[in-house]
Amino acid sequence: MRTRDVGLRTFSLRRRVTMMVIVVVGVALLAMAFAVQTAFQLQSERELDRKVEAKLAQVERAAKGRPMNPSDFSAKYSFGGVTVVVRQPNGALYYYNGRIDSLAELGGTVQLDKPVGHGVSVVLLTDSPEPAQNRLRNVLLLVGLGTLGLTVLVLVITIRLALRPLEVMAGLSRSIALGDRGRRLAPIRPNTELGKTAVAFDQMLDALEGAEAHARASEQQTRRFVADAAHELRTPLAGVQAAAETLVRLGPGADQDDVERMHVMMVREARRATRLVEDLLSLAQIDAGLELRFEAVNLRALAEAEVERLRLLAPAVGVHVEGDAPVLAGDPLRLGQVVGNLLDNARRHASAEGTVRVRIARVGSRVELLVLDDGPGVPPAERERIFNRLVRLDNARTTGKAGAGLGLAIARGIARAHGGDLACVEPPPGQQGAAFRLVLPATPPPDLPTTPLPAAPLPAAT
């Protein structure tokens, strides 16, 4: 079988998960730093505006209607991060340490320049918020780098532990490849992602082991079947060869009775070999899937036709047909082969002047055909084994009544191809001998197809 590669990308899952988490954490830290700095800046600006407004109101109340000493006035109201500078009418500037030439000497940021009366105005200066913002930015950077480094360290440890189940699965796969087929993962929590993967892995192993065991059993069965078939064919071929060699040895002057006896033996053994080959071909067709030609079949009429044939072959055996006459969908030739096989089997195992009964009944959506004989019966332990190929009971081998052991396997295969089954069952109370029950689906005539239908694929008969 040609394999198809999926082309799985075998990247390092540990490395990929680590890098993705680092990127996510880094982006989250950057976003957090930006948000903190922006919030700090907005909060600082609002706080500064409140301070300036409060200081202006305080200064205006103090400057109303009374003279002031500029330096003392500045010294009294310059606090809380706000410096008050007094500008005299002549333009001179004063703050709490005396006169200055310009505002640039004090630094800071001019927030307000407003007259307060008598030609005097006040200038409110505040410290620049940039140093505080720079300190905050540096702190956030150091904290972010430290957090990122700690995250990398923790990720390396935690991801290694988290991916440990995958390493266990890989180790188990290697051990299975080396021949240790009995181990399983058996996850404790099968509902998680890794648990579902482990369950699927165990199911795959079970399926592979089952397929391997089935393949080995099929191979052994095939070898056994070929050996048994060769053994069965060897007997009639040996008879033909012995008869032919005897004719050659007798020569032209042989007695006519001896020649005719050898000819009869050759024909009989050739027919036996031909029948065996035909049975083998029928089994091969069953394994490949029979092509059935469905028609409306009266099951009782079909059984009575096969009974008439049996009466010609064994007049001493009484055969009786009882029950209903259901009409169902089926291949009349194949179903006749099944019923004929069951009747021949019953004839071979019935007593010398015994009775064979055929009972037909409709049970729900099924039709059952029961074939009973008054022979020794089939032990319960052998009732399933007799449907195996080339299997005959020991008493059948010793009495010389057995065929090649393929008839029941062929009959069951045909029954299953029709959607039914064939089984050896317990005979009814008060009845001795063997009982074979054929079960078929009871398809009424209006539902029958008008054209032949191919049969569904049929598993090999067991």
**Pick from 151, 171, 52, 42: nearest CA to 109:** 52
Q: How far apart are CA 101 and CA 362, in angstroms?
A: 125
Angle at 131 (CA atoms; ends 125, 134), nearest 5 degrees: 145
Task: Tell which CATH classification among 3.30.565.10, 3.20.20.140, 1.10.10.1590, 3.40.50.300 matches the domain 291-447.
Answer: 3.30.565.10
Residues contacting residue 195 through CB under 8 Å, at least 6 positions apart: 187, 188, 189
pTM of the model: 0.49
Q: Where are the domains of the chain?
A: 14-133, 234-284, 291-447
Question: For residue 294, is it left (φ>0), alpha (ψ between -120 and 50) or beta?
Answer: beta
Q: How far apart are CA 151 and CA 164, in angstroms?
A: 20
Q: Tens of pLDDT along 132-171?
A: 777 878 888 888 888 888 888 887 888 777 777 777 777 8
Q: Tens of pLDDT along 363-410?
A: 888 999 999 998 888 888 888 888 887 676 654 433 444 455 677 888
Angle between helices 407-417 and 332-349 (to 10 degrees): 150
- What's the whole-number mean pLDDT along residues 212-225? 76
Q: How far apart are CA 439 and CA 338, in angstroms?
A: 11
Residue 229: C-alpha distances to residues 114, 225, 361 (Å): 122, 6, 37
| C-beta separation of 110 from 92 below 8 A | no
pLDDT of res. 360:
93
Count CB neighbours of 18 within 10 A. 18
| C-beta separation of 85 from 123 below 8 A | yes
Angle at 62 (CA atoms; ends 59, 66), nearest 5 degrees: 130
Confidence of residue 195 (pLDDT cuts 50, 70, 90): confident
Q: Tens of pLDDT along 446-460?
A: 555 544 433 333 333
